[in-house]
Chains A and B, each alone.
Chain A
Amino acid sequence: MTVKNETLDRIVIRFAGDSGDGMQLTGDRFTESSALFGNDLSTFPNFPAEIRAPAGTIAGVSAFQVHIADHDILTPGDAPNVLVAMNPAALKANVGDLDQDGMLIVNSDSFDERSLNKAGYSSNPLTDDSLKNYRVYEIPMTTLTLEATKETGAKPRDAERSKNFFALGLITWMFNRPFEDTFEWIKKKFANREIVLESNLVAYKAGHAFGETAELFGSSYTVGPAHFTKGTYTNITGNHATALGIVAAGLLSDMEVLLGTYPITPASDILHELSKLRHYNVKTFQAEDEIAGVGAALGASYGGSLGVTTTSGPGVDLKSETVGLAVSLELPLLVIDVQRAGPSTGLPTKTEQGDLLLAMYGRHGESPVPIVAALTPSDCFNAAIEAARIAIKYRTPVILLTDGYLANGSEPWLLPDTSKLEKIDPNFKTEPNHVNSDGTGSFYPYIRDPKTLIRDMAIPGTPGLEHRIGGLEKANEIGSVSYDSLNHELMVTLRNKKIEGIQDDIPLAEVDDPSSDTDILLLGWGSTYGAIAAGARRLRALDKKVAHLQLRHLNPFPKNLEEILSTYETVIVPEINLGQLSKLIAAKYLVSVQSFTKVQGVPFKAAEIERYVLNMIKEN
């Protein structure tokens, strides 16, 4: 029988297995080969906080979802069409998400009584009819892998670990991905471990051949390449793009970068990436704790470098006193918060937008800090540059909010024309800015540009401009310690006005409102961009008119936001928290908004946005 080949416009595949099963690697590799093939794509890795939770348990399940399409897509997909489940726990944890009549590929070898028990199954789902709504393919992947690797000299226990490559081979065949790409990739990846390399290669080959010859599958599938804008692309995660954005900001400002940081999920990969990039005038400093990390970053900024610190919620808590110092000193500082589910340790590997109010208000005193949020994994690059630009130019700490979803998720990125990226001028002073009564010059560190209120900054090593600054309140312009009450009010006001004035230096908000004839605005911020935009598309396909605005500047807001809000009767604010942007908007503009929230450690699905709006329309 010849297997036919069906063409699909899109497909969502989820690989799920034990933490030790290599599902992230498998998913990553399938993603890369799909990227090279020319699909548009979006990924969503979802893994436990434990490195190896007890094998075979639900707690230990690690999954990687990838959405590939022949057209532009915005999210990793709501429901997988294909679920690869390597054991009963992976099946149990994920089958509920599988599309109706979706395809289920299971490693039948792992459905023994012990494993079923561990996963909490009282009867075998492969035999008890509970999966009858799905197209189930039971494949003894462990046995087939062991058979295939017999000749490699690998001990059975090791050889068995190649079964994810069997699965990868099978899926590579099923979705018509070039066989050679991954074959070559495996060779490179495991070049130093001969036996592992050999068994992975044969397992991959065996999986591929199995698909072709087993006559189990009626069809293979092709998702054609998407029509991308001309240019050069890479597939990139949010953390990687953030790291590149930091390097770019350093190069664009001609400043050395010092990353002062302390490891924390899900931010550590930014440290890992930057640690490799020493030749780009970047230094990384793994400090004794978050406080030291941000302290070192601020010290570097004081010396004329770009001080950067990366962390997640618990680390932001620790850094807040130093961020306040940076507000008071008026020194550049880039603080990157890769948000994760809180409070406290919360769900370390799961995403949340829970830190907006922390970024906004999480310091004592009147301590305004600009906030920028990235919208997609690749947008982290631009968002990091934008945050650094504001920090350097306005001599202020800036908080960049990304999150676990952006950090680990990936998408194709059209590489920017680097010659078009704008230079950043730190504009350090080298001459006195004040004439003393005896005619000599001196430097007053808090003399400001009358329009932008940016203070004059001179860095140590500049002869003649020696001066002292500190966290005590400073006399206006002069910078010496002042306890004067009216001076304090003046300084508080000036610092606040400076941050508000950044409004004039950021782009106006652009609403996506193709009909220009709707009362409904979906207002999101940061990483919900994809889900809300996809939800809006679905609604429009049903002839329901909605507008969508996604904010990237959260402090200050774009200048035209108030006017935009006044043109829509219904403003819906979807957020992965309990309504933090809603509070800011309601308080600032005195408009009533509908807060639509979800706090489950996972992003919105496009269908959830769609359903919410449909229900709302129905009720009215």
Chain B
Amino acid sequence: MTVTTRKDWASDQEVKWCPGCGDYSILAAVQLLMPEFGIERSNTVFISGIGCAARFPYYMNTYGVHSIHGRAPTFATGLALTRPDLDIWVVSGDGDALSIGGNHLIHALRRNVNIKILLFNNQIYGLTKGQYSPTSEIGKVTKSSPFGSILSPFNPISLALGAEATFVARSHDMDRNHMMEMMRRAHDHKGSALVEIYQNCNVFNDGAFNEITSKDKRADNLINLLDNEKIIFGQNNDKCVAYDRENGVKIADVSSVGEDEIVVYNSKLDNPALAFAISRLASGPYSPTPVGVFRDVQKSEYGEALRAQSQDAVDKKGRGTLEGLLGSLPTWTVD
């Protein structure tokens, strides 16, 4: 157990996000969380692609790589397969993770390799100055969609669940404790983990999450998923998530449904159907939106399974040597 403080985890680099950017509060949450783990800074690596979010590694006093657009999960996977001793975090934006890097994201999740992915979702391309992203809503007016976006956005949680992810959570940049709890749970999870964090880009998409994250709206519009608890929300605890014949689940008034119709949440279910149905409750961050851990199940971790096969081969054949390598070929001798 190594004792560190928040300050130990901050690098000497000046942070260069726009003043007021949500990325600052995510950085603070991470730097506050790290000492809790009691780990060495030298065993921690942050890997990112490209985007505003992707500048993150420069600000952590750990090992870090700012790689190329969309490819951070690939780099992190290679590192995780060969260095199980490291804590590896990937920091990505919605364009980075879901557009150019979409293929890598789904495969990293499916593979259940030991990397923790923080997806800063601001529903916009920040670094390239404000084009619509794969999570921008229909109708969004941006520089590249002056007449409004005509594309259905991705729901990152639904996508991750469909990709066989074993850990999927959502948080937002206005609630440090919640963010820390989601990251803590991700860190404790064996395998790949995705934490989507709604992040305000106050320059190109300001207030995108106001309807659900501002202090006065949270109670009515954030649905907190807690294991083994009934999903009840609203200022007066008068709203709930109830089972529904057609859609699996629906939002209802507590008064209008029977006690046993209210969903008791369980992120550990092997079948992701409930988590998926819950992820579909909100069509965008302006109606009641679930946050918390959607799914947290144990499956074989890819690196561990791969190393087990290697160990098995060594047990059976012995550790290979150069002489052994060439000696194993079919040969003939000339004397």
Contact = CB atoms under 8 A, between A and B. Distances in A.
A238 B329 CA distance: 14
B280 interface: no
Given A285-B81, A421-B322, A296 B75 contact: yes
B95 interface: no
Contacts of A167: none
B136 to A, nearest CB: 25
Contacts of A59: none
A460 B332 contact: no
A293 B71 CA distance: 10
B138 interface: no
Contacts of B57: 468, 470
A260 B83 CA distance: 15
B332 A283 contact: no
A491 interface: no
Interface in B287-323: 306, 309-310, 312-314, 316-323
Contact of B58 (A236, A285, A295, A481): A481
B75 A468 contact: no
In this complex, the member of A287, A292, A301 whose beta carbon has the largest number of chain B beta carbons within 10 angstroms is A292
A130 interface: no
Contacts of A295: 67, 71, 73-75, 77-78, 104
Nearest to B61: A466
Interface string A203-234: 00000000000000000000000001111111
A281 interface: yes
A252 B319 CA distance: 14
Interface in A243-279: 244, 247-248, 251-252, 256, 258, 260, 277-279
Interface in A297-347: 297-305, 307, 321-322, 325, 329
Looking at chain A's contact residues, the main secondary structure is mixed
Contacts of B310: 278-279, 281, 283
Contacts of B335: 230
A291 B322 CA distance: 31
A406 interface: no
Interface stretch (B36-44, B220-228, B267-275): B36-44
Contacts of A232: 331-334
A288 interface: yes
B218 interface: no
Given A38-B332, A230-B334, A232-B333, A247 B68 contact: no
A321 B68 contact: yes
B209 to A, nearest CB: 29
B326 A244 contact: yes
In this complex, the member of B40, B41, B45, B325 whose beta carbon has the largest number of chain A beta carbons within 10 angstroms is B325
Contacts of A287: 74, 77, 107
Given A460-B45, A460-B63, A466-B61, A251 B332 contact: no
A285 B78 contact: yes
Contacts of B13: 468, 480-481
| Smallest CB-CB A-B distances: 6 pairs | A295-B74, A470-B66, A299-B78, A296-B78, A280-B320, A299-B75
26 contacts: A38-B334, A228-B334, A233-B332, A278-B312, A279-B314, A279-B316, A280-B320, A285-B81, A288-B103, A288-B107, A291-B74, A292-B73, A295-B75, A296-B75, A297-B78, A299-B74, A300-B82, A303-B86, A304-B83, A416-B326, A460-B86, A461-B42, A464-B42, A469-B65, A470-B58, A480-B58
